[in-house]
Structures are given as C-alpha cells and as structure tokens.
Amino acid sequence: MKLICKKSDLLAGVNIVSKAVPSKTTMSILECILIDASEGVIKLIANDMELGIETKVEGEIIVAGRVAIDAKIFSEIVRKLPDNDVMIEVDNDFTANITCENAKFNILGKSGEDFAYLPEIERNKSINLSQFALREVIRQTIFSIGDDRNNKILTGELFEVSRNNLKVVALDGHRIAMRNIELEDSYEDMSVIVPGKTLNEISKIVTGGTEDDMTIFFKDNHIMFEFDDTVVVSRLIEGEYYRVSQMVSKDYETKVTINKKEMLECLDRATLLIKEGNKRPIIITIGDSDMQFKMNSFIGTMDETIYIKKEGKDMMIGFDPKFLIDALKVIDDEEIDIYLVNPKAPCFIRDENESYIYLILPVNFTVANN
Amino acid sequence: MKLICKKSDLLAGVNIVSKAVPSKTTMSILECILIDASEGVIKLIANDMELGIETKVEGEIIVAGRVAIDAKIFSEIVRKLPDNDVMIEVDNDFTANITCENAKFNILGKSGEDFAYLPEIERNKSINLSQFALREVIRQTIFSIGDDRNNKILTGELFEVSRNNLKVVALDGHRIAMRNIELEDSYEDMSVIVPGKTLNEISKIVTGGTEDDMTIFFKDNHIMFEFDDTVVVSRLIEGEYYRVSQMVSKDYETKVTINKKEMLECLDRATLLIKEGNKRPIIITIGDSDMQFKMNSFIGTMDETIYIKKEGKDMMIGFDPKFLIDALKVIDDEEIDIYLVNPKAPCFIRDENESYIYLILPVNFTVANN
C-alpha cells in the first residue's frame, strides 16, 4: 500500500474513527485503525464490535492495499506531523513508513486480515434530519440515562418515529428526559433503543449545523448514521422500552413560571454545601409570588428567594438539586413552567407544545431538619 | 464584624491568598482564610507556615472585627455569588452570614485567635523589578528544580543579586537553567535560596505587566514580595547553593545554530515513541549543514533531518529529549546556538550576552541499538 494525503484531512478522519476504538480490550486488533486503500478510495475504519465507524479521506492511492495500525500511536503521530502532505507506505511485513517533510516514522502494523468490517445495513427504513438537531437532542437527554448495568435498557435512549415526529427519551428511575422533534417528512412508525455510549460518541463527531443533513437507517438489530463522508453503525439494545406516555400526565395543582437563569444559579450555589457522595435535598417553598430555596448541611445553610408567577396551591417540596440543574442546563427558554401535583408526586418542566418534558421525582425530607 | 465589598474585589483577593492554603494539613486553622477588618482596612490572610499571603480588599467596614473561614468553602461561595455587593456579618459565636442580593449563606467560622499572622520583615534590603520580569524568570527556570526531598537545596532556586544583575538558577543534577536580568538600579550583593513552591505560587498571582513594578525584600530566613495590595512572605531554604559558575564553561568544539521551532517540533514528535516511565535517548548526529535526530523504541523508529549552521567538529551525541524540550520551550529566540565539547560533556544552549544559559548533560547510548 502507498498513499498520499493532506495531514489535516488525515487527522480529521483519524479523530472521527478513534471514537470507536475501545479504551480497554483484550483483542489487540480492536485497538487498531484499519487504513483500507484496496478499492479505489482511502477509508479509515475502527470497530469495537458494538460501534463501528468508517470515514473517507481525500488523497491519492499509488499502490492499493490496506494495513491496521495501533490507533493511539497513529493518531498521536498524525497530530504532531507538520501541516503538509503525508505519505504512508506499507511494505510486505506490514511495517508502515509515515513520511511528512523531513520527518520519517516507522511503525509495525498488522495485515488487517482479522479486522472486523462494518456490517452491511439495508437502506430501506430511514429518516432525515439535520446534524445540529441530532447533536442537540442527544445533549438535551443523555444525562438522564441510567448507569445501571443490571437494567441494560436504562443505559440506552428510546428513538421513536411516528409520522413526522421523532421522540427521544432517557430515564433512570428518578427522572425522565423527553424531547420531540418535528421532521420534514413523514415516515412509518419505528422504535428502537440506542446505546448511550453510541450517542455520546456520535454527538462528538456530528459537527454540522442546521443546514447539514444526515440520514439515520433502522434495522432490527442495528442503527446506522450516515453524514458527510462518514458512516456510523451501532448495535441496538434489545427489549421493550418503558411506556413513558403513561407516566407523563397533564394534570397539576400548581403551576410556577420562573426565570431559568436565576433558578439555575441559585441551585448551583446551594450545591456548594453538599460534599461529594453526601445527598441533601433542596427544599422549595412555593408562595403566592415567590419561591424560597433552602439547603441545610453540616457545612452550613443557604436560602434564597426568587420571584415567580404562580397558579394554584402553595406547596413545600424537596428535590435532589442535581436533577433540577441537569434539566435546566439544557433548556434554552428564558422562562420555564414547572407543574406540580403534591410533595410526593413528580414535577414536570415542559413547554406548551411539549417539545421538551422533564419529569423529576421529589425526595422525602423532614421539615424539622430543614 | 460587618463589612460590605464588591463580589469581584472579594473574589480577586480570595484567589490570591488561596495560594497559601495547604491542600493537606492536620491543623484545621491553616485551612482557613482570615478576614481581618479590625484595623480600618479589610485584609485577607492565609498562611501555611512556609508561605504566607496577605492582600487588601476594597470595601466598607461597618463593624470592626475578624473571622477565620474554611478557605475552600468560602472561595466556592464567593465564586458563585451574583456579581454585586456582598455583605459579610459575623455574630458572637463566629457564624458568618454572607449575603448577596437574595442569596444568604450561613457558615460556621472560627475566632482566628490562633491564626498565624505573617512575620514582620525589616525593609532594609530590597530590589525592584517589573512583575512581568519576575513571572517570566520563574517560568524560564522552574522546570529545572529537583524534586529530591533528600537534597532540599535542589527544590529551590538561587536568587543572586550582584550590582544591577539578578541571576536566577535552578538545577537538578542533570541540567542547569540560568537566567540573568538587568535591574534598573544597583544593589549590594545578596544571595538566597527560594523554595520552588513559593515561586510557583507567586508566578500565578503576580499578573502585572512590564510597567507594573514590585519590590523583593531579603532577610536572613525570609523573602518578601510586595506588589499592588499584596504581600507574600516565604521562608528561605537554608544552606549554600552549588557553585554554578564553575560548571559553566565557554569552551566548545562544536557550535550549532538551529531554528528553535523546527527542533522543538522534531523532539516533540520523537517523544511520541516513548511510553511513560520508559526512557529513550534522542540520538543527534551533527554533520556539516544538517543535524539528524533519531529515536528508536519498541513502538517504532523516527528520524528527521534539520538544516543547521555549524562551526567545528562533527559529532554524535544522545540526550533525554525531555530536557531539551523543557529548555527550548522557554527560549523566545527564533534561532538558538548550541555549544558542544564531546559526547560525554554537557551541552550549553545560550545567547551571546548570556541572558540565558541552559546546561544539559548527555546520556550514554550504544550505537548498535540506535
């Protein structure tokens, strides 16, 4: 194999496929990036068997062939090369010569014979959306997935297509994050559970804006994301997702409208009094025109009052402040509506057309301590 | 005690004195910042018994007094307060009420009775220089101090004043970093060893430019830095420093002039082939008009050739690339001169008027392996 490409193009490709290189594995071939120049285009591929990424790199193939090179070493070398043309030449024993200006590296590669290529995915069920929309919807929900290895379904997100609506849901037993995105076209109904790890990685490499489209393909066991010169294939999580619609109610006794930034900064201050691993609730007292936030720990106490608009009953309710903070951080609205029923029932933060719904369970607290 | 000051002023002061709060200590009073408003000005003080910092904060004292508050909690709270006036009020049992807009914190403080104030330093021996000059000279030498606890002298830097010259030296047994700064005035000869930790911390808080002056006071056991509204006092390291002038020779057999950036980037690439904890030399072969750099490790090999100007003999010599990198990183010149004697003798990187001298010992290597 012998090829020439620009350092910047090569680096961009390496950065993309590196997301599918496992940090720990016993199979050393999985730690490699495959450079495949055997079929007229230069492709970089990495695959940890759950998640596989393939991307094309512009360049000139002088001798066709392929080689697998340790991903960490290869990406470090490419990053530090001068910003110029890079030549990669592989001899018969798979030693890779990487040359750029006066710098020459010599790295032992592998034949790539036992490298796992990406599975073939039929292209019959798919949706289109912008790269920006996918990246945003992941950011706005991913914090609510569970890290519970015993319940694998919680470690993924529901992607549910119904006509021209994409619903994305994450939940962990204490809270639900739900977003609805309107699609340009209508599609047949589809529903899959995508691993959180896949979504985390893809949100880092889908860097396009609202004008940059991408396609998501659905199959029984796989999902495929296609954008620019890149294809990402991931296994799906098997099983049936929770019936979230049954948990989301529109009834409420109290509706609070509050400035999001003020509430977020107040909660942020309150958590200063919580040392790591030590859970303390924020106690919220809702009055006619203000809401009082109280935190009490062995470090000290904090209280703060914020002006609100209120409909319905007064209420005193406690929350894990982290859950409120996580939700508020990803809401772009200046003012938010919080719907409450009673101190034992979940609260809902949602906008009018339900483009987002965040459900958070309250925590018990004894007034005497707070 | 009761006082009012701006959040931004308070935060700036807290950030400065926090540098003297020890990360680990068995004396809980050392973990505190003392707020002293007993004598008409608001002072913040921290002191870990080696290094003490005192700084003034603008503000209004309503009731005189003082209180010691846990530095970590206090600085976190101040950082997260709204950007407005902050009121700190301490009651008789030393509970501190910190109020800003609608946010109120209540933190248990201490009387500060057993707090260690900064030692009094006579102001008879001193030098003036710019804040920029001190910060730069520390950055340009501090990497060469030893971490050898058995030889405490190596953990500090020599500050030697001779007429209008300040010489700063750090060495660790493998290398020497030396800088000479011309002072505006002439002073009597002084020579002290300043702890590296003190210099690291002070270089973070001396943020002024070339026009912002500061004064350094010398005493037998202490050094004091005075700038803006801040005073930093540190103990000195006792003992006699190495006679560095005897180690620095002007004789050479080979003089190489090389582009600093090219050499630095080449060394940077070479170190990619060294895994942590695994030392490998960079082998340098000096020819008539070029210098070849070779690295060889179990990961692979790298070689690169850089054009140079040369006087004197050809040579082959090995170095720990890290030592060369450290020195090159802090030299601002575009081209540098390297002076060599033979493959067993130290090399010198220095400019013509010796504003900097970096001495680096070579390492042994067997050509067969490289």
Question: Distance between CA atoms of A302 and A267, rounded to whole angstroms?
Answer: 10
Question: Distance between CA atoms of A238 and A152, rounded to whole angstroms?
Answer: 9
Q: Provide CB contacts within 8 A for B332, sequence distance 6+.
A: none
Chain B CB contacts of A259 below 8 Å? none
The residue-averaged pLDDT of B333-339 equals 98
Which tens digits make up the pLDDT trace of A99-109? 999 999 999 99
Name the nearest CA neighbour of B221 among B183, B187, B192, B186.
B192
> Is A18 a residue whose pLDDT tops 90?
yes
Which among A108, A272, A301 has CB closest to B300? A108
> Does B154 lie in the same domain as B56?
no
Question: Distance between CA atoms of B206 and B220, rounded to whole angstroms?
Answer: 23
Chain B CB contacts of A73 below 8 Å? 272, 299-300
> Does B131 lie in the same domain as B104?
no
The residue-averaged pLDDT of A257-274 equals 97
Residue of A nearest to B105 (CA): A302
> Does A187 lie in the same domain as A77?
no
Question: Distance between CA atoms of B222 and B234, rounded to whole angstroms?
Answer: 6
- In chain A, what is the straight-line distance between the N-terminal and C-terminal CA atoms, in Å? 70
Question: Distance between CA atoms of A180 and A257, rounded to whole angstroms?
Answer: 22
Name the nearest CA neighbour of A230 among A68, A6, A56, A15.
A56
Task: Check A306 against B106: CB less than 8 A apart.
Answer: no
Of A223, A246, A269, the position where a domain reaches its end is A246
> Is A268 a residue whose pLDDT tops 90?
yes
What pLDDT is attached to residue B284? Answer: 98
> Does B265 lie in the same domain as B240?
no
What pLDDT is attached to residue A24? Answer: 86
Which of A75, A89, A106 to mutate against chain B (most B CBs within 10 Å)?
A106
Question: Distance between CA atoms of B334 and B94, rounded to whole angstroms?
Answer: 58
Are A171 and A158 in contact by the 8 Å Cβ rule? The answer is: no
* Token digits of residue A190: 């589809």
Q: Provide CB contacts within 8 A for B49, sequence distance 6+.
A: B30, B116
Question: Distance between CA atoms of B216 and B192, rounded to whole angstroms?
Answer: 12
Which among B102, B106, B273 has CB closest to A306? B102
Q: What angle, 0 to 180 degrees and rounded to 10, lies between the N-to-C axes of helices A131-139 and A196-205?
A: 130
Of A228, A246, A264, the position where a domain reaches its end is A246
Task: Check B104 against A73: CB less than 8 A apart.
Answer: no
* Token digits of residue B2: 């009761």
Q: Which residues of B355-366 are buried (b: 16+ CB within 10 A; e: fewer)?
A: ebbbbbebbebe
Which among A76, A81, A300 has CB closest to B106? A300
Which tens digits make up the pLDDT trace of B259-289? 999 999 999 999 999 987 788 999 999 999 9
Question: Distance between CA atoms of A87 and A61, rounded to whole angstroms?
Answer: 10
Beta carbon pairs, A and B, within 8 Å:
68
Question: Distance between CA atoms of A69 and A10, rounded to whole angstroms?
Answer: 14
> Does A242 lie in the same domain as A131?
yes
Task: Check A106 against B300: CB less than 8 A apart.
Answer: yes
What pLDDT is attached to residue A127? Answer: 97
Residue of A nearest to B266 (CA): A103
Question: Distance between CA atoms of B54 and B52, rounded to whole angstroms?
Answer: 7
Is the dihedral angle over the CA atoms A370, B5, B8, B11 positive or is it negative?
Answer: negative
Which of B28, B100, B105, B263 to mutate against chain A (most A CBs within 10 Å)?
B105
As a whole number, the mean pLDDT across chain B is 95
Overall number of domains in chain A: 3
The residue-averaged pLDDT of A28-46 equals 95
Q: Is residue A218 part of a domain?
A: yes
> Is A311 a residue whose pLDDT tops 90?
yes
> Is B367 a residue whose pLDDT tops 70?
no
Task: Check A102 against B77: CB less than 8 A apart.
Answer: no
What pLDDT is attached to residue A103? Answer: 96
> Does A320 lie in the same domain as A346?
yes
Single-letter residue type at A308: I
Task: Check B106 against A302: CB less than 8 A apart.
Answer: yes
> Does A266 lie in the same domain as A240?
no
> Does A146 lie in the same domain as A100?
no
Task: Check B105 against A302: CB less than 8 A apart.
Answer: yes
Cβ neighbours of A309 (radius 10 Å) = 12
Task: Check A104 against B265: CB less than 8 A apart.
Answer: no
Alpha helices in B86-195 (DSSP H): 131-139
Paired sense of beta strands A126-130 and A60-63, if any: unpaired
Chain A CB contacts of B273 below 8 Å? 105
Question: Rounded to a whole number, what is the distance in Å from the CA of A61 to chain B's nearest CA?
Answer: 23
Residue of A nearest to B95 (CA): A300
> Is A251 a residue whose pLDDT tops 70?
yes
Cβ neighbours of B253 (radius 10 Å) = 13
Question: Rounded to a whole number, what is the distance in Å from the CA of B76 to chain A's nearest CA?
Answer: 7
E strands, A7-130, where?
A: 32-37, 42-47, 51-57, 60-63, 65-70, 85-90, 95-100, 103-108, 126-130
Q: Is residue A121 part of a domain?
A: no
**More reliable by pLDDT, B308 or A249:** B308
CATH number of the domain where residue A325 is located:
3.10.150.10
Question: Distance between CA atoms of A40 and A275, rounded to whole angstroms?
Answer: 58
Residue of A nearest to B290 (CA): A102
Question: Rounded to a whole number, what is the distance in Å from the CA of A94 to chain B's nearest CA?
Answer: 12
> Does B254 lie in the same domain as B365?
yes
> Is B369 a residue whose pLDDT tops 60?
no
The residue-averaged pLDDT of A119-130 equals 93
Of A110-119, A201-210, B184-193, the poorest mean pLDDT is in A110-119
Task: Check A265 against B82: CB less than 8 A apart.
Answer: yes
Q: Is residue A114 part of a domain?
A: no
* Token digits of residue A226: 């296609």
Measured CB to CB, residues of chain A less than 8 Å from chain B are 73, 76-77, 80-82, 102-108, 265-266, 268-269, 272-273, 299-306
Are B72 and B33 in contact by the 8 Å Cβ rule? The answer is: no
Residue with structure tokens 């912008």? Answer: A130
Paired sense of beta strands B51-57 and B230-235, if any: antiparallel
* Cα–chain center distance at B21: 17
Which among B81, B104, B269 has CB closest to A103? B269
Q: Is residue B117 part of a domain?
A: no
Backbone region of residue A9 per phi and psi (left: phi > 0; alpha: psi in -120 to 50; beta: other values): alpha
Q: Is residue A7 part of a domain?
A: yes
Range of the domain at B326: 249-369
- In chain B, what is the straight-line distance between the N-terminal and C-terminal CA atoms, in Å? 70
Which among A77, A265, A299 has CB closest to B272? A77
What pLDDT is attached to residue B349? Answer: 98
> Is B370 a residue whose pLDDT tops 50?
no
> Does B259 lie in the same domain as B239?
no
Residue of B nearest to A306 (CA): B102
> Does B67 lie in the same domain as B55?
yes
Which tens digits make up the pLDDT trace of B51-78? 999 999 999 999 999 999 999 999 999 9
Chain B CB contacts of A105 below 8 Å? 269, 273, 300-302
| Edge-to-edge strand list for the sheet holding B42-47 | B65-70, B32-37, B42-47, B51-57, B230-235, B222-227, B213-218, B126-130
Q: How far is CA B93 from CA A300, B96, B317, in A?
A: 14, 9, 69
On the CB side of A268, CA atoms within 13 Å amount to 17
Name the nearest CA neighbour of B19 among B42, B53, B43.
B53
Task: Check B73 against A305: CB less than 8 A apart.
Answer: no
Question: Distance between CA atoms of A291 and A270, rounded to whole angstroms?
Answer: 14
Question: Rounded to a whole number, what is the distance in Å from the CA of B185 to chain A's nearest CA?
Answer: 45
Q: Is residue B168 part of a domain?
A: yes
Name the nearest CA neighbour of A234 among A70, A46, A37.
A46
What pLDDT is attached to residue A367? Answer: 59
Question: How much of chain B, in percent, has pLDDT values that exceed 70?
Answer: 99
Task: Check A105 against B300: CB less than 8 A apart.
Answer: yes
Alpha helices in B129-183 (DSSP H): 131-139
What pLDDT is attached to residue A327? Answer: 98
Which of B11, B294, B299 to mutate against chain A (most A CBs within 10 Å)?
B299
Task: Check B106 against A301: CB less than 8 A apart.
Answer: yes
What pLDDT is attached to residue A278? Answer: 81
Residue of A nearest to B268 (CA): A80
Of B183, B211, B246, the position where a domain reaches its end is B246
Q: Provide CB contacts within 8 A for A345, sequence distance 6+.
A: A362
Which among B73, B102, B302 has CB closest to A305? B102
Task: Check A104 against B306: CB less than 8 A apart.
Answer: no
Chain A CB contacts of B108 below 8 Å? 300
> Is B220 a residue whose pLDDT tops 50?
yes
Task: Check B304 against A269: CB less than 8 A apart.
Answer: no
Task: Check B300 against A73: CB less than 8 A apart.
Answer: yes
Phi, psi of A219 (to 5 degrees): -135, 175
Q: Is residue B258 part of a domain?
A: yes
> Does B88 lie in the same domain as B29?
yes
Task: Check B269 against A81: CB less than 8 A apart.
Answer: yes
Task: Check B300 against A76: CB less than 8 A apart.
Answer: no
Q: Is residue A118 part of a domain?
A: no
What pLDDT is attached to residue A186? Answer: 97
Which among B82, B266, B301 has CB closest to A106? B301
Q: Strand, helix or coil at A307?
A: strand
Chain A CB contacts of B269 below 8 Å? 77, 80-81, 103, 105
Single-letter residue type at A136: E
Residue of A nearest to B79 (CA): A269
Single-letter residue type at B143: F
Name the nearest CA neighbour of B201 among B20, B1, B35.
B20
